[in-house]
Amino acid sequence: MVTPRPRDKDQNLKLRLVSMRRYAAACGREATEYEDRALAADLVRRTAWRYSLEDAQRRKVDRVLV
């Protein structure tokens, strides 16, 4: 599971996602990406977050990159 989050306001999420993809590939892992554009407190619009929780409950996830 890959969920890009900025570490600071100047960080580019697209560049962070590229490096996370490379890391997963280097480890021989298949990455499923979950990316929301909504605010953290907006649980209604954070559909990718909900899907990631459902996949974790179904044990489809064995590692998480944030």
pLDDT of residue 24: 92
> At residue 2, does pLDDT exceed 60?
no
With left for phi above 0 and alpha for psi between -120 and 50, is residue 59 left, alpha or beta?
Answer: left
Name the DSSP letter for residue 7. S
Domain count, the chain: 1
pLDDT of residue 11: 61
Q: What b/e string do you get for 36-64 counting C-beta neighbours within 10 Å, with b at 16 or more?
A: beeeeeeeeebeebeebeeeeeeeeeeee
pLDDT tens-digit readout, 25-56: 999 998 888 887 777 788 788 888 889 999 99
pLDDT of residue 9: 57
Residue numbers of the domain that contains 64: 1-66
> At residue 8, does pLDDT exceed 60?
no
